[in-house]
Structure 1
């Protein structure tokens, strides 16, 4: 199904590739990459081809396009969505770089369809945003708004805050171009809020710049000047030359309206230098036009004509009909002021034709006014009245259009508020879900914590029980040891008592023996017997002394003997 879907696209792009190859520079694809392509297709090879296209599109858009077409065909053969989508985007970018807006839009929308088919809402949003910017740059405001809304919806689906912020920023420019300052400010403040939340300098600088422009449109010069100076400082800090350039341009407009022509001239020249450094033809042409307007106010018509002409030639290169009409009408103003009436009329008529081609009612009205004034100065009252009639008719249409636009803006405001309410509800639901999730996580942590405490208390209780048991066992062992010691002591005492008793008996027997011997010796008066008794007494005393010494040794070493 996908093959049939892209069949026409591949045939068409391949034809473009072949036709361009005959009149443009070579694609400069490295030989090694070509060998990889011929040997087999895989995503690594396709990525390499796409990266090569990316590196070429700024300086060599046609070369970049041919390489991207090759990547598209390889991706189709490999049935790789991401490769197809990126290749289509780079083809669109290359056409945009050459100011072929219709071709760029075609490929961006093809890339968006691919992305939507794969539910890649982020890339779809980027592609829709690119189409919206193309429409905005060509003053197709309704179309621009439609695609910015599609981009915003896509970013909302994938919750891409940066993408939504960029849509708000671009949408504010749309409202500013329509003259709806209130809605422009509203969108810018939302973009600024998102930028501050994301700490994104591009969003912050862009929103502050647009807020300054809105204040400028309200002729609040001092507030606008403060905003633009802040944008410039932030642009320098972040290295954003585009932000610096826009700040310089707007500061030039502000100081010009405040009557400080010297400061205005310096700001415009700084803007021109930055735009030239960026090689942005549209911005350079705007700088030339603003310098021309400044010199026109000072009646330096030669310089004014020179700068208006330079501005016109640049926008002609990028085929921006709205700007071409505006700058041509400025040249008409110069020639009418120089009293070169016919040339002024010719330029006014050309401006009218381009305004009609791009359906710019505002430019058409201004061109008709110049035509009416020019013919009146040529004393051609009939032609002057015809153009005056058309001028009044279109001017009424412009006012009605502005009224209709206001009603449309009110409708948009209502729809925007509804979207905001939806977003707030979604955010509230997300907050509730997050709160529930946080509660569940905290509850789970508490449960785990309590469980750990219970386990630790249980372990401590077991350890305490084990300690008590060990202590009881130690006390029991100690008591048993003391009992055993007392038993041994008792046994030892019993032995001592037994020995003492035996000793007493022996002493008693000895005393009785001595007593009998003494009685006999007294009776017989026998000296030998007395000597013998004395020896026995001496021996008995020595024996008693030795027994006491032995007993003392036993007492000292009782444990050993027990």
Structure 2
């Protein structure tokens, strides 16, 4: 049927065209999504993490809706990289694992290798060398299967570094030597492989050779700042001097490096080297001062981590608000579309009604039907509004739960820092007592011998542990009572060990506090897990976290 418009209809046509002009659709095409990822990565390198996470989250949302797997992988992997840079390793690991699953299902082996390497580096940062080796090996095997030369060299070198950290010098050397031919065409990566080989020499006991090679490398390096390889070589030189017994040079090198670096983590290592040097040269007052400096550096690091945790929570909150904003915008867009189509419907209905009135074809029944459809749309909009308010309340509840969880983690960190501080001081005092006890002149002095014995008995008391338990129970209400109820066979020593595991201390830290080796600590963890009859696929820390 052909409709002819006269001058009376021109107003309606103009309104319809105007309404269409109010809804320009911004195409969310592939190029736009890629540009968001590129901008997000650029912001991450500039340390603008909030901006980076906003851009990458938007790209991830679009990619997920459009099922663009590569863009989804890139956005997710780099969101994980942002959280890694912000020291929020738990959040980073979640995104890395999600990126890895996407790579496995939809992408090529190169994508798998990239995210596996990221996961391995994260575990290395947390001193979880076993997990780091596992993921570096997965990346290495994929590189081997695909004959990717540069990746084979890089991941073989990373494997060597991980085995170095575990003191498995023989296995480490095999991978390091394999990596060198693959990396010889890249000066920076080749230099890194040489530094890793020097560290292996030091671990293997070739102390003098390691120091000489480190000194030669340091003099000839083209880029000492790449991946801190210059700093790593200086630390090798200082440690080698200590092991060789050349204490004056060790002291001089350590103090020179201390003046150049501001990193709390590096300063902590240097303070420890100086403390060892002064103990070896029986300058116990200076040794104690630098041991205290180690504790201060640890507190500074803990403070930085707590500050980062606070910043991360702010970022998470802002990203949560940003996601909510995206959801609200999408809901608003849907609402506006509904209103648009409703307006079109009303205008069309109005035009039809006018036409029917003019032609005497309008019926009362059709008028009621149009009004009823309008009322249904209004009710649907009200229901959507109520749903949106309910979602906002749920988001607020989740944020409060996250805040309480982070507060508990911060209090446990403070408690573990205090325990480490007491353990460190007692260890140093014990070293001084042993040195004094071995002196023939002091052994002849009965008064001093009695006082040293009294001091030893004082160190063996459990007063500090009782105080620690009291503070631990204040922070973690009822944890020990629940543990004793569920596992009545646990001894007091088992509970003490479990408390340190629950505070997420590393094997190295627990071993230092209990004056045992890291290997003994790992075996004890296995024995306690078996005693508690934990499933094979459940770690002791994961189980304790669920109590």
Instruction: State the TM-score, normalizing by the size of structure 1.
Output: 0.52
State the distance in 1 between where 2:274 and 2:190 align. 28
Matched with 2:195 is 209
Question: 1:417-448, CA deviations, whole angstroms, 9 ceiling, x for partnerless residues?
Answer: xxxxxxxxxxxxxxxxxxxxxxxxxxxxxxxx
Question: 1:453-482, CA deviations, whole angstroms, 9 ceiling, x for partnerless residues?
Answer: xxxxxxxxxxxxxxxxxxxxxxxxxxxxxx
SS of aligned partner of 1:39:
coil
Is the Cα–Cα contact under 8 Å of residues 282 and 315 in structure 1 kept in the other structure? yes
Q: CA deviation at 1:308?
A: 0.7
1:151 is aligned to 2:142: no
Matched with 2:38 is 51
Instruction: Select which of 61, 68, 88 maps to 1:73.
Output: 61
Superposed, which structure 2 residues align to 1:211-250 within 5 Å? Answer: 211-237=197-223, 239-240=225-226, 242-250=228-236
Q: CA deviation at 1:71?
A: 1.8
Is the Cα–Cα contact under 8 Å of residues 156 and 164 in structure 1 kept in the other structure? yes
State the distance in 2 between where 1:308 and 1:331 align. 10
State the distance in 1 between where 2:426 and 2:129 align. 26
Instruction: Select which of 233, 246, 267 maps to 1:260.
Output: 246
Superposed, which structure 2 residues align to 1:160-559 within 5 Å? Answer: 160-196=148-184, 199-237=185-223, 239-240=225-226, 242-269=228-255, 271-272=257-258, 276=262, 282-297=265-280, 298-299=283-284, 300-316=286-302, 317-318=304-305, 329-336=423-430, 337=432, 346=464, 354=500, 357-358=503-504, 360-361=506-507, 363-369=509-515, 395=520
Change (3 A) 1:393 1:269: closer
SS of aligned partner of 2:199:
helix
Larger Rg over CA atoms? 1
Is the Cα–Cα contact under 8 Å of residues 163 and 172 in structure 2 kept in the other structure? yes
Is the Cα–Cα contact under 8 Å of residues 271 and 291 in structure 2 kept in the other structure? no
State the distance in 2 between where 1:241 and 1:284 align. 17
Q: CA deviation at 1:363?
A: 4.3
- Unpaired segments ≥5 residues, structure 1: 1-36, 370-390, 402-562
Change (3 A) 1:302 1:343: farther
State the distance in 2 between where 1:362 and 1:238 align. 30
Is the Cα–Cα contact under 8 Å of residues 291 and 304 in structure 1 kept in the other structure? yes
Instruction: Select which of 37, 41, 46 maps to 2:28.
Output: 41
Matched with 1:95 is 83
Q: CA deviation at 1:229?
A: 2.0
Is the Cα–Cα contact under 8 Å of residues 169 and 187 in structure 1 kept in the other structure? yes
Change (3 A) 1:393 1:181: closer
State the distance in 2 between where 1:163 and 1:328 align. 45
Q: CA deviation at 1:114?
A: 2.0
Change (3 A) 1:230 1:314: farther
Q: Which has the higher contact order (CA 8 A, sep 6+)?
A: 2
Question: 1:158-213, CA deviations, whole angstroms, 9 ceiling, x for partnerless residues?
Answer: 332222222112211222222211111111111222212xx123332222222222
Is the Cα–Cα contact under 8 Å of residues 64 and 72 in structure 2 kept in the other structure? yes
Q: CA deviation at 1:239?
A: 4.8
State the distance in 2 between where 1:333 and 1:200 align. 45
SS of aligned partner of 1:57:
helix
Matched with 1:126 is 114
Instruction: State the TM-score, normalizing by the size of structure 2.
Output: 0.53
Query: Which deviates the most, 183-192 or 285-294?
Result: 285-294
State the distance in 1 between where 2:217 and 2:202 align. 14
Matched with 2:543 is none
Question: 1:339-367, CA deviations, whole angstroms, 9 ceiling, x for partnerless residues?
Answer: 79669984997996546755755543442
Q: CA deviation at 1:137?
A: 2.4
Equivalent pairs counted in the alignment come to 338
Query: Which structure's residues are more often helix, by fraction?
Result: 1
State the distance in 1 between where 2:171 and 2:97 align. 27
Query: Which deviates the most, 82-91 or 256-265?
Result: 256-265
Question: 1:369-403, CA deviations, whole angstroms, 9 ceiling, x for partnerless residues?
Answer: 3xxxxxxxxxxxxxxxxxxxxx69984975999xx
Matched with 1:14 is none
Change (3 A) 1:151 1:356: same
Is the Cα–Cα contact under 8 Å of residues 185 and 211 in structure 1 kept in the other structure? yes
State the distance in 2 between where 1:392 and 1:227 align. 30
